Structure 1
Amino acid sequence: MPTTRDQMVDWLVDDTADTCSTDPGYLRSILREYWSAMSDEDLRRSYDELSPDEAGADCIDSGPTVTLRFRPQAWIRDNAFDVDPEQPDTWDIPVAILLNRFPTEDDWHEDYGARDDMRFEGRAPRWIREWSGPFEVELAPDAASPWELSATG
């Protein structure tokens, strides 16, 4: 297993490129396993070094996109209540990414864990990626249905 940052990058690029292009979850699973032993502080430091404000910039292509909305929440008497976001709370992701994880609208509504993970896709604002309280990720109210887009496209 690679031990230096450069070796890790080379390994990820060389040994996983073909698989990652056909299975976007593959690289995510590798990183989760490889860095699972990192302390929270080390993980935050690594995250900051990767320039999170630019995270996801390469995944936006010229294909159709869908707008997601982040609803930050706070716990009040063991219930999650929406709070007002102080910054932009929407961002775009490629429709292809959403449809790969949620082939049907029912999948979107049933798999809240995977839906919440969408906050790490596309150019989600940094504050959204770092939110530590409860939250929901949803399609923006005025967003076109990605399932209808795929049926017509």
Structure 2
Amino acid sequence: MSTQPGNFSSRDFWRTRASLEAEIPDRLIHKGVARTDVAGADTFSKERKHPVFLVDLPSKTLSMTLGGLEPGQTTSRHRHNYETVLYVIEGRGVTTIEDREVEWEAGDAVYIPVWAWHQHRNLSDEATCLYIACENAPLLQNLGGIALREEAS
């Protein structure tokens, strides 16, 4: 019986450990995130209609992506059942969350609540926006594949 997360059932509750051991994976760094081709990144970007680079690290609870919006670009309107925090590296724009508009610029962090319809837009006609998105989708996937995302029609 494996003791890895996600491999327990209710009958294994007695196997709960009293202490932790660090499990250090082989891979601890993803060099050149925006310069490497991670499997599925092209499809991910096409579905979202803007460039997104996936950070390929073995985190089982958090994901991180590097996203960009070209001048004047707007993402599709979408929602998901995982939380997102965006940290804006460069540029300025606006995120519509349900019926509220939140303007942002480099150095700001934006919170996207669970299951709220939202859409991001670059307010500049000349400069690209660049942001980091941190999400807890892997946690939900590892709890039984319950991370959901829906695009507006």
TM-score range, shorter chain: under 0.3
More strand per residue: 2
Higher helix share: 1
User: Normalization by structure 2: what TM-score?
Assistant: 0.23
TM-score, reference length from structure 1: 0.23
Higher Cα radius of gyration: 2
